[in-house]
Chain A
Amino acid sequence: MTDMTNTDAPLPGSSKISIISETSATRRRNRAEARFKLYGLMAIGTGILMLIFLLLSVLGAGMSAFQQTFIDLEVEMTEAQFQDAEGSLLKTGKYKAIIQENFETRLTELGLQDNVDITEAMGLFSDQANADLRQAALANENWPMVREFRFLANGRIDGYFKGRVTMETAELDSRISPEQLQLADQLTEAGLMNKTFNWGFLSRVDGSPTRPEAAGLGVALLGSLYMMLIVLVLTLPIGVAASIYLEEFAPKNRWTDLIEVNISNLAAVPSIVFGILGLSVFINFFALPQSAPLVGGLVLTLMTLPTIIIATRASLKSVPPSIRDAALGLGASKMQTVFHHVLPLAAPGILTGTIIGLAQALGETAPLLLIGMVALVQNYPTVPPEGLGDPATALPVQVYIWTTRSDPAFVERASGAIIVLLLFLLIMNIAAVLLRRRFERRW
């Protein structure tokens, strides 16, 4: 208190300084303070803005992938036509002719036949239409087949309705002409062509690099699902077992130190290195099949293990020692204490960690590229366990594959696939958060 009285006395050499009115020095310092605070706010703002920008740019580019332009057409087909088409060498050509025939009749009904050249008009259809008709015909039993079909429109036509293709660009494009676009407009007016929700985007296979309109995520979704199953089945028991040992049983010695250092380093090893490991160990050495969800799952397992071990150890550590002491005091063995008491109490934390680990594995791309998952896969993998060895792709890999294609329509597909991927990640993370909220205990 004696100091206080001293400050009231004027200091030698600075007699004008008052602690009430602001001097230029304090003003400067206060301004610096405000500036500093502003920088902090700006940094956080930048981060959040970047996140919003990122999400908006992906959503903006990808939402249209869920819409697709279709041409509704009733097709009449006799058994003779079917036999003829199946017997010929150019099967798709024959089916195309059948579509053309039906399309011509339809155009005549609408009174549009005069101003269009029918081969031009057939350009509105995707090549996938022939394959779809063939699929339906192969599955058909009652001849003659009369069915309403919803054929995919050509990717350029689809692009026209989504604003990607305009009359000007069509002028320069060898695969579409302005006349075809005008016809497409007329068909839309006649109700023959329309844009609806595109289930095919989620279910179809990625058939061909030249058919963006038919490209779907079917194989990728299955592949990712299979890999997640493998990762879950392997990482959860192994990760929990390893954590229990390290946290509850391990003596302090060189071996356990080595394991600890290893795990923390493995968690920071670049993911592509795990891809190299998978390629040389699982594929070259053990001769497991390339592009298979099995190998992908194993690689992702090794990659996710450190994450899960770290999360599990943290939640084991948060169980208070009094629980262990009580169990031991009542005569439980060390093993019984851990499995009957500690582990159930740590379970919510372990599950949360596992879900987050899985989410990380779901979004991983680089290691999967190296184990050959970039191949064009035309068939769905079969049911596990055999299906685990069939070639497949994964969601993020499918995005990469589509970005490497030259047709700009694939950019929309890739962004759409990312929306699906982010949706899954969102669901997983919300599940993790809810789980934590619901079961978390504070000791």
Chain B
Amino acid sequence: MPLISILIVVAIISTLALFVNRSRALQSADGEIRNLHSLPSYYGYFGALSALIPALGLLAVWLFVQPLVLDAYISGDIPDELIPEDSTRGLVMSDVRRIANGLDIAVAEGAMSENMAGSLRTEFTDVRDRLGDVGVALGSDVRPETLRSAQEYRRLVGIGNTIMTVLVIGVALAGFAFAFLQTNKDFRARNAVENGIKILLIAAASIAILTTIGIIFSMLFEARNFFSQYYWVDFFFGTNWAPSFSGRGGASELGMLPLLWGTMYVSFIALLVAVPIGLYAAIYMSEYASPQFRAVAKPVIEVLAGIPTIVYGLFALITVGPLLRDYFAEPMGLGNSTNSVMTAGLVMGIMLIPFVSSLSDDIINAVPQAMRDGSLGLGATHSETVRNVVIPAALPGIVGAILLAASRAIGETMIVVLGAGAAAKLDLNPFEAMTTVTVKIVSQLTGDTDFASPETLVAFALGITLFVMTLGLNVLALYIVRRYREQYE
């Protein structure tokens, strides 16, 4: 049964439970609500939740575990000698899955009967051709072992799905029955329902943890595969980035330093633009501006933060890039590329202005008024007060804000994809096209990807490097900001 129908069946069962349990509770109290422990609808909710939660929980766990178990089983079934020289077990497995998937589509489209898909033999049918007819393109001809594995895979998936359907619906019914038996006028339905809801709330809150675990494990897992094929010292300290896509492995040089240099250079220019503008804007807003001026200027500046990065990317590509090339780079003889570190840095700087200004604004506002009054009372001008008293007092917070902006800059993707270029270079000329970590993650993972080659897997190693860098900056920034807030509270 497809997933959606299982969900519908479970939903129907729990709706049924909702009404049945409610009326049973009322019945057990002889229709007199005062005799019930809880309001009648709580008995209904109890029925619905008992049918729903265990069934959905089982479904989620099953969907997660089944592919793991099946993969391990099928791939364990493929003898070592059947794996071709230039291939790996993982690649053979992905072939198996692709063929199984193709057979599914063929059956769904009616190009094959279920029986035929199970008994297909490469000796009699050109499987690649048949699957091509239904739109599943295979890279090479299907070998008999692979086809057999794929058919076995399909058979097991089919069995697994049947068992899952039966179990899930069974659990839903069992939950219904359990709730039905529990329901009588003395049953504390409200407490039970509230406990159930609390568990749901905790589960929802834990999704944040699951996401982090997912991020870390998915990247660690693939990055480990990468480092088993590529020496880690060469990756972290290599000064040459030259992936080759012609042959698998071997000739590629995947040194991260040029990418890291590009990232740092672009971020540095971005901060050079954003920090003074953002900081002065924040100072003016919090120290000088009238409420009316502030009410207009602050939201307008913050619009810059709400504009999607792709818009900045296009702005860099069609406006800023040509402008810088025609009026700065070419007259100064520094190059003739529209993509450049300067282009990306400037545009990213504009994007970061509100990040610096909003946070600094909050922080400057948090400096106690007494400190300003003290300084003004001693005869300092307003600007001297700001420079000598307010800013030093707010400095830790401002540093935190700048660190947060830096972490944004490092992780920013679309502006550099469209503005900075794709050539990995270690160069000082800001009008030269360079590339960054994020650009290379995008370029290595889009288009034709082959999850066994280091050229693709390197993206995960880059990803985890990026993640660690931004995480470090964020944690540091949050720590500083929090410490600072406590200081004045």
Contact = CB atoms under 8 A, between A and B. Distances in A.
B200 interface: yes
Contact of B314 (A281, A403, A429): A403
A376 to B, nearest CB: 12
Contacts of B190: 333
Contact of A285 (B67, B276, B287, B408): B67
A116 interface: no
Contact of B280 (A43, A50, A334): A43
A118 to B, nearest CB: 37
A363 B308 contact: yes
Which of B207, B219, B304 counts the most A-chain CB atoms under 10 A from its CB?
Answer: B207
Interface in B200-256: 200-209, 211-212, 214-215, 218-219, 221-222
A20 to B, nearest CB: 15
B226 to A, nearest CB: 12
A273 B288 CA distance: 40
Contacts of B429: none
Nearest to A36: B383
A44 interface: yes
B283 A54 contact: no
A272 interface: yes
Contact of B445 (A246, A364, A370, A403): A370
A316 B153 CA distance: 49
A245 B445 contact: no
A44 B404 contact: no
Interface stretch (B25-33, B79-87, B137-145, B469-477): B469-477
Nearest to B315: A54
A231 to B, nearest CB: 14
A161 interface: no
A315 interface: no
A60 B31 CA distance: 71
A144 to B, nearest CB: 35
A333 B194 contact: yes
A27 to B, nearest CB: 12
B284 A47 contact: no
Contacts of A212: none
A321 interface: no
A44 B284 contact: yes
B312 interface: yes
A129 interface: no
B211 A266 contact: yes
Given A51-B303, A399-B310, A242 B207 contact: yes
B315 A58 contact: yes
Contact of B212 (A33, A262, A414): A262
Given A48-B300, A249-B198, A57 B315 contact: yes
A268 interface: yes
Interface string A238-259: 1101101110011000001011
A335 interface: yes
Contacts of A250: 205
Contact of A44 (B67, B206, B285, B467): B285
Nearest to B413: A366
B475 A265 contact: yes
Interface stretch (B160-168, B368-376, B458-466): B458-466
Contact of A33 (B303, B381, B478): B381
A208 interface: no
A210 interface: no
B442 interface: yes
Interface in B255-286: 276-281, 283-285
Contact of A269 (B215, B350, B412): B215
A225 to B, nearest CB: 16
B278 A268 contact: no
A199 interface: no
A121 interface: no
Contacts of A51: 300-301, 303-304
B386 interface: yes
B365 interface: no
A232 to B, nearest CB: 16
B317 A238 contact: no
B336 interface: no
A82 to B, nearest CB: 27
A22 B288 CA distance: 23
A46 interface: yes
A145 interface: no
A403 B471 CA distance: 31
A270 B442 contact: no
Contact of B466 (A40, A242, A273, A369): A273
A334 B307 CA distance: 41
Given A265-B212, A285-B67, A43 B284 contact: yes
Given A265-B475, A421-B311, A50 B304 contact: yes
A165 interface: no
Interface size range on A against B = 35 or more
B334 interface: no
Contact of B211 (A29, A37, A268, A302): A302
Interface residues of B, number: 93
Contacts of B384: 29, 32-33
A326 interface: no
A401 to B, nearest CB: 11
Contacts of B52: none
B308 A421 contact: yes
Which of A32, A44, A302 counts the most B-chain CB atoms under 10 A from its CB?
Answer: A44
Nearest to A258: B209
Given A40-B281, A369-B446, A29 B381 contact: yes
Interface in B293-334: 297, 300-301, 303-304, 306-315, 317-319
B442 A366 contact: yes
Contacts of B288: 37, 40
A239 B278 CA distance: 32
A272 B307 contact: no
Contacts of A271: 411, 413
Contacts of B404: 268
A335 B304 contact: no
Contact of A366 (B281, B387, B414): B414
Given A43-B277, A50-B304, A242-B201, A277 B315 contact: no
A429 B309 CA distance: 17
Contact of B446 (A33, A259, A370): A370
A435 interface: no
Contacts of A238: 204, 207
A277 B212 CA distance: 9
Nearest to A302: B211
Interface in A328-369: 333-335, 359-360, 362-366, 369
Contacts of A366: 309, 413-414, 417, 438, 442
Contact of B474 (A239, A258, A268): A268
A423 to B, nearest CB: 12
Interface in A379-415: 385, 396, 399-400, 403, 411, 414-415
Contacts of A46: 277
Interface string B397-431: 00000001001101111100110000000000000
Given A33-B382, A57-B318, A277-B214, A418 B311 contact: yes
B207 A286 contact: no
A44 B282 CA distance: 9
A415 B297 CA distance: 26
8 contacts: A58-B314, A264-B478, A265-B474, A268-B407, A272-B463, A306-B208, A363-B309, A365-B310
The 4 closest A-B pairs by CB, nearest first: A270-B411, A363-B308, A40-B284, A43-B280
Interface of B: 4, 63, 67, 97, 101, 190, 194, 197-198, 200-209, 211-212, 214-215, 218-219, 221-222, 276-281, 283-285, 287-288, 297, 300-301, 303-304, 306-315, 317-319, 350, 353-354, 357, 381-384, 386-387, 404, 407-408, 410-414, 417-418, 438, 441-442, 445-447, 451, 459-460, 463, 466-467, 470-471, 474-475, 478
